[in-house]
Amino acid sequence: MPNPNTNDAVWAVINWLAWFGAFGGILAMLGEVSIRSVLEKGVEAYGNVWRLIWAVTVGGLWGVGGSISFGVLLSLDDKLQNGLDGPKTDVLLAGTAIAAGFAGIRILRLASNRLENQMKELVKEETAGVRDESRRLLADESKKLAVLADVLTTASAVLDGHTDDDRSVDAERRGVIEKLLALRKDYPTIRTIGIYLARLYIIFEDYPSAIRILTEFLEARRKAGILPDVDDAALLFNRACYRALWGNKQEDPVAKEQLFKDGWNDLKESVKLDPTNLSEAKTDPDLKPLVKAGVREFTLLA
């Protein structure tokens, strides 16, 4: 017969994770639009009020979905009932949920899968050390997610808080690159890490590295068995932009045309995966060099 105390504890954990996860998810979704744009345009930065409401709703739902996975993992082992020891656990769960919600359900899929495998192995053991080991693993994963959220926040501030030609923050930019590369080892398929890295490389006009890093993230997603989705569309869209920029730097017409052709193929695949990218492509000045009358035109992407 189920232990009512255990059920109450599990629901308490889920309640904590849901609320704080929703908060983190909303922050992440609102952060998709640059701070500068919000300050200049207000609500119009999101298109209109209804799009803003939709963004908050989706952000909240994905934050809840990501953080609730932790609650599910905790319920896998009823030995954890004695590990819910009040304020310390509350703080840990709140911090974990906000980081999880901010990072998004994409990251939580990886973290939760890893935790689930570890927890299933631990459940098989009938020793007193299972509870302590489970709590240690949860704490370790929570720390990684907290670091991830912190680095992504720093990267966003460095990218959106300064113009690209502001060389006074170059040292900070390089430091963020190193931190993102370190995070990539644990999260090799997360689009935000790849896009931030590529943008930082572009600021230093390192076009080959920007293109390479986006390519490696796309390949890692295929190796992980992730089906192409809107995240791939975003990676492809950015790679198309950077191939266009690098093509403009080429003096060899053959090399220039090849980069433009490859960039157009990226853009075509991006629009196929996420049709909303077409309208953005038409107004993005970085993509204009890819257009070639009668061969590569936006009307052909519709």
124-174, pLDDT tens digit by residue? Answer: 655 555 566 666 766 777 788 888 888 989 999 999 888 999 999 999 999
Judged by DSSP in three states, 15 sits in: helix
Phi, psi of 292 (to 5 degrees): -140, 115
What the block records as the tokens of 84 is 């819910």
Radius of gyration of the chain (CA): 22
Class of domain 162-302: mainly alpha
Q: 121-134 b/e with 16+ CB inside 10 Å = b?
A: ebeeeeeeebbeeb
- Alpha carbon 280 to its chain's center: 20
Confidence of residue 294 (pLDDT cuts 50, 70, 90): confident
**Calpha distance 118→296 (Å, rounded):** 50
pLDDT tens per residue across span 176-225: 999 999 999 999 999 999 999 999 999 999 999 999 999 999 999 999 99
Judged by DSSP in three states, 245 sits in: helix
With beta carbons less than 8 A apart as the criterion, state whether 258 and 296 touch.
no
Closest CA to 118 of 103, 94, 136, 144: 136
**Calpha distance 143→22 (Å, rounded):** 19
What the block records as the tokens of 99 is 């980081």
With beta carbons less than 8 A apart as the criterion, state whether 112 and 73 touch.
yes
**Calpha distance 221→235 (Å, rounded):** 11
What's the confidence (pLDDT) of residue 144? Answer: 81
What is the residue whose two structure tokens read 């230093």?
204
pLDDT tens per residue across span 13-24: 566 566 666 666
More confident residue, 117 or 53: 53
Contacts of 272 (CB under 8 A, 6+ apart): 233
CA angle 102, 106, 107 (to 5 degrees): 65
What the block records as the tokens of 284 is 């993005």
What's the confidence (pLDDT) of residue 6? Answer: 46
In order of 9, 12, 81, 90, 136, the CA distances from 86 in angstroms are 10, 11, 11, 6, 17
What's the confidence (pLDDT) of residue 4? Answer: 45
Average pLDDT, rounded, for the chain: 76
The pLDDT of residue 258 is above 60? yes
Residues of the chain with CATH 1.25.40: 162-302
DSSP-derived letter for residue 296 is: B
Phi, psi of 296 (to 5 degrees): -130, 95
The mean per-residue pLDDT over the stretch 27-45 comes to 59
What's the confidence (pLDDT) of residue 247? Answer: 96
Q: Got the DSSP string for 254-289?
A: HHHHHHHHHHHHHHHHHHHH-TTHHHHHHH-GGGGG
What's the confidence (pLDDT) of residue 292? Answer: 86
What's the confidence (pLDDT) of residue 142? Answer: 77
